[in-house]
Structure 1
Amino acid sequence: MVHRQLPPLPRYRKDAVTRRLCAAVHLDEDFARQVREEFVEDGMKAHGLSLGINLVAVVRHARVAAERMDVRDRQLGWLFAALCTAVFLWFYGLVSGGSVVAASGCYAVFAVLGAAWWLVHRAEAKARAAALDVFESAEAPEKLAPPVASEVETRLQELQQKRTNFVPYAADAERTTPFVGSGKKIKEAVWQPIDVSRPAVSPTGGKLTIKPFDAVALHTYVANEMAHIAGLEGLRAKNRLYVLGTHVWQLGPEALPDPLGRPRAQVPKQLVQAGLAQPGAGMRTYLSLERVGEGGRVVVSMHLRARLHHPSLTWEVAAYAIPPVHRRHARVDYLPRDGFQQWWSLMRFATGRTWPALRGAIGRNHRRGSAANRRARQLENMRKEISKRHAVYDYGADGSLRDRVSDWGEMGHSDRTDSQDFLHRLQQGVLTATERFLKDHNVDTSSFDQAQQVINMQTYNFSGDITGASNFGNNGQINIGQGPQPGPAGGGPAAGRP
């Protein structure tokens, strides 16, 4: 291969999507609270895979952002009570003729409004500064926010993509796909059967003795060799046990240490192998091949399962893709960085949002408190049902954070062609690895050659098989840490942000 000396072009940062989401939680209050509720609060549901993002970093920043808004709203709630008192004194003084009381009330009204304006301005300034810092800094994003509780940190570390080998999926997903959170289905098929009962012919013309093998050995071989065969840098291959959420408890403490808590994300490899050799009820092991595109914009995955029933071998194959992040989370691209524009933008924001934020503070505080209490009561009632009445609970995940923040409208031409290339390389890599494995075990591959011709006719259509929009845009923004990128300002403040 020829290596030319060429000038480097700007590239996506490897953690671009993680940084974008870390910035988004500071600028989108609803999003920050959703992330904190899902990953920090107590619960029993399993989490989806952290495909292409650093969950530790996103959750840390979400916790900081949500707490900042909680403090602001509590202070605004007190100020609104003070405002009501000041208005009462003002009108009482006007009605009763007490000029001193009226003047005091009038001054107090303006003082409260000024304090509220300052609180809104300060909170937004901190949010923008934190968003720009994590988006552009050379420091790792998880180091720019303090850790969350130790038990949460441990759970998030287990959820890292390269470590997770156990995925409980929600019972509702059984009707469609167990691969919750992997995005939209591109292709699902069972490949042409391959006869593995005939021994290969030796160079001298005699029959070789077939070396015994099982599906576990085949999966292990493909997982170890795929990165070299497919030629895809950063390809991750992991055998994972997918289990129906209502059946998790049957695996015992190795998968569910506490029936009133969340299931583990890592289980002993013997359980993973058992799900391949002898699958249980709603329990099957798949080899997940995952490739994260440039900067994490697109995540492509292929889930395979070897079905080895003498005398034939087939591969069950499902391909999925997650598109770029929704434009809603791109507001950081268009924030003013310095100078008069930054000052004026903050002034205008605080002036326009102070009264709505002040007026609704008490109601927001009450609704959030009521919602938290309701979630706690529901969780406690469910735990009572499990411990006292032995109720069956669905521990399965119903999606992933990366999938929920994606938008097929952001899928551009390069994203589609790169994804198609990834899937074709993965498919060819699996076929090549399978052929080498069979030859190593002295199996005649003539049946494989015939099956390969049929399998190679399959295509991966990113505008037909996908459930969703068929006309994709090309408006994703590049994150290379060099300020805002050109493009229309489409990432305005999120609805519900005071």
Structure 2
Amino acid sequence: MTSDPTSLPPGGTAIAVDRYLCSHAHLSPSFARYVVTELGAPSLRSTGQSFGVDLIALVRHATAAYRRAMWMRVLLSADLAGLVMAVLLLLVSGSLPYGDAVGGFAVVAVMTGLVLPYAVILASMLDAHRYAQRINSAGADLRDLVRPVDPRLERRLGEVMTGNVVVFRGGFPFGSCGLPLGSWSIDVDATKPALDPAGNPRQVMPFDPVDLHRELTRTVRAAGIPDLRVHNRLFVGGTGLAAVPTLLPDPMDRPAARVSPQALRLGIARPRPDVRTYLCMEKVSWNGELVVSLFVRAGLVAGDLFVEGHAFVLLPVRAEMCGLDRLARNTREILWYAARDTFRSAWRQLGRSPLDLLRIGMLHLARSRALAVDRRRVLRAQILDRGADTSIRALVADRNRIYLFALSDEESILNALRRRMLSGVEQFLDKHGVDTTQFTQQKLNIVNTNYNIGTALANAMAIGTNAVVGPTGQTQPAAAGTAGAPPAGSVPADPPWAGTP
């Protein structure tokens, strides 16, 4: 079976975040195993949003790196077993017939067993650095550097990259969107007419939330902000897929990543407790490393227009995953550093390779058992949360703001998106003859709202009109239960692949 290239989204643009993730897969076997397992292993749960990451390129590089690391561990384990047997044979060779010949063979086997780990590990390290160097000097598409994987997997990841639906786990729909920047809401009487220049009431033109979403989409897109993606996206709770039947074509497989335009409109016009459509504005900057997202939803209840907004940011990639910046730049340096690292780690890797294989086997066994439990729940018609906790892009994002320029860009992007969105709502209401006095006051309150952004370069910074910093130099923490704030522990401080083989 061959892959149909027309069924896949275009190749990645080799932006910084793609280069960092693909190269880190070659330099970190634990990360490569996590990517292969999370993106490629059978599951009944959804895959988190990509936020511009080329998942197809990532899974290709991770698969190549994972296979290389597994072959190295298998060879090292076999060498360790042969070395132990050769040493035992050497010890008992004196009591065996033809002891001298057996002892000589055992000596040769021991010497080979002592040299082979260096050769295996050195070859593996050189291959990993060779791929990382190719990624560093690649052109526009990282996919062509390695062989494709299962075409069905690539098609599914292509749908995730271009999808218009998010199936989330638990009660928080934005768990893969990064750190919260703030939430707000506006409530306006949409039946109160505005006054014309003569002071007479204007006629209020009826509208529905779908009209407002459509108008906001056009307004923000027309703003001309570069690298801005504006689209409606359906957010569905992991236990509420029955409300959107097309989301689960196969009950024994992952949920789909795309729904029809009609399902999107229903999520706006008739929202449910666990199914709602948001207008998503995603501004990608810093060569893909900084993503500011604004999610807006409008609702109309008994003549009152309700508009809510939630803003988040995905920070640049964690420093430990930026090994691409520290790679050797020529063949001589690559050989030197690979030989040095091999000399330092050969015996440690030789000794732990059987244990690593055992631990990897136990991890796969645990995942297989969890999948079997999920399938039994489906067969018994029990409730199963099929949502994604988070995404790989959110897991690799830093948790602390260490770049002052990124902090400034983050603030300016959020202000630009929020201002254009609020202006779009105001123009829409005015066009339909609705009095905007109440809206204007609430708009000013939102624009002047204080919000604190962590720390930058170890200095507390408070952003916004009349913002303050705590007396100890630390920013004031957000109040517990603040709308738009992710649940505690939703994105771990340490990535899930840390400490695994």
TM-score past 0.5 threshold: yes
1:68 and 2:68 aligned = yes
* 1:244 aligned to which of 237, 240, 251: 237
Cα separation, partners in 2 of 1:126 and 1:339, compared to 1, 3 Å: closer
Shift of 1:22: 0.4
1:317 and 2:306 aligned = no
Which residue of structure 1 lines up, in the alignment, with residue 179 of structure 2? 184
Shift of 1:68: 1.0
1:128 and 2:129 aligned = yes
Structure 1 portions without partners, runs of 5+: 1-12, 473-493
Offset from partner CA, 1:333-352 (integer Å, 9 cap, x none): 11212254322211111222
* 1:228 aligned to which of 217, 222, 240: 222
Deviates more, 1:255-264 or 1:94-103: 94-103
Whole-angstrom distance in 1 between the partners of 2:109 and 2:454: 61
Partner of 1:337, secondary structure, is coil
Shift of 1:202: 4.7
Map residues 64-463 of structure 1 onto 2, 5 A cutoff.
Answer: 64-93=64-93, 98-160=99-161, 163-171=162-170, 174=171, 177-191=172-186, 193-202=187-196, 207-229=201-223, 231-252=224-245, 254-387=246-379, 389-409=380-400, 411-463=402-454
Offset from partner CA, 1:466-494 (integer Å, 9 cap, x none): 9xx9769xxxxxxxxxxxxxxxxxxxxx9
Question: In 1, are the aligned partners of 2:20 and 2:323 still within 8 Å (CA)?
Answer: no
Shift of 1:149: 1.0
Whole-angstrom distance in 2 between the partners of 1:385 and 1:227: 44
Whole-angstrom distance in 2 between the partners of 1:264 and 1:186: 29
Shift of 1:138: 1.4
Cα separation, partners in 2 of 1:356 and 1:400, compared to 1, 3 Å: same
Partner of 1:349, secondary structure, is helix
Whole-angstrom distance in 2 between the partners of 1:139 and 1:293: 17
Question: In 2, are the aligned partners of 1:420 and 1:460 still within 8 Å (CA)?
Answer: no
Cα separation, partners in 2 of 1:295 and 1:461, compared to 1, 3 Å: same
Whole-angstrom distance in 2 between the partners of 1:249 and 1:397: 17
Whole-angstrom distance in 2 between the partners of 1:374 and 1:408: 29
Question: In 2, are the aligned partners of 1:197 and 1:312 still within 8 Å (CA)?
Answer: yes
Shift of 1:459: 3.9
- Paired letter, 2:236: V
Whole-angstrom distance in 2 between the partners of 1:266 and 1:79: 49
Structure 2 portions without partners, runs of 5+: 1-12, 462-496
Whole-angstrom distance in 2 between the partners of 1:291 and 1:326: 20
Shift of 1:29: 0.6
Aligned residues: 452
Q: Identity rate of aligned residues, in percent?
A: 31
- Paired letter, 2:193: P
Which residue of structure 1 lines up, in the alignment, with residue 38 of structure 2? 38
Whole-angstrom distance in 2 between the partners of 1:27 and 1:248: 38
Shift of 1:141: 1.0
Whole-angstrom distance in 2 between the partners of 1:290 and 1:279: 22
Offset from partner CA, 1:452-472 (integer Å, 9 cap, x none): 2222212443128x9xx9769
Which residue of structure 1 lines up, in the alignment, with residue 468 of structure 2? none
Partner of 1:159, secondary structure, is helix
Partner of 2:21, secondary structure, is helix
Whole-angstrom distance in 2 between the partners of 1:25 and 1:14: 15
TM-score, normalised via structure 1 length: 0.85
Which residue of structure 2 lines up, in the alignment, with residue 15 of structure 1? 15
Whole-angstrom distance in 1 between the partners of 2:237 and 2:124: 43
Question: In 1, are the aligned partners of 2:238 and 2:385 still within 8 Å (CA)?
Answer: yes
Offset from partner CA, 1:429-454 (integer Å, 9 cap, x none): 01111122223323333333333222
Whole-angstrom distance in 2 between the partners of 1:328 and 1:94: 53
Question: In 2, are the aligned partners of 1:14 and 1:294 still within 8 Å (CA)?
Answer: no
- Paired letter, 2:395: R
Whole-angstrom distance in 1 between the partners of 2:145 and 2:402: 30
Whole-angstrom distance in 1 between the partners of 2:234 and 2:404: 34
TM-score, normalised via structure 2 length: 0.85
Partner of 2:312, secondary structure, is strand
Shift of 1:95: 6.3
Whole-angstrom distance in 1 between the partners of 2:435 and 2:14: 43
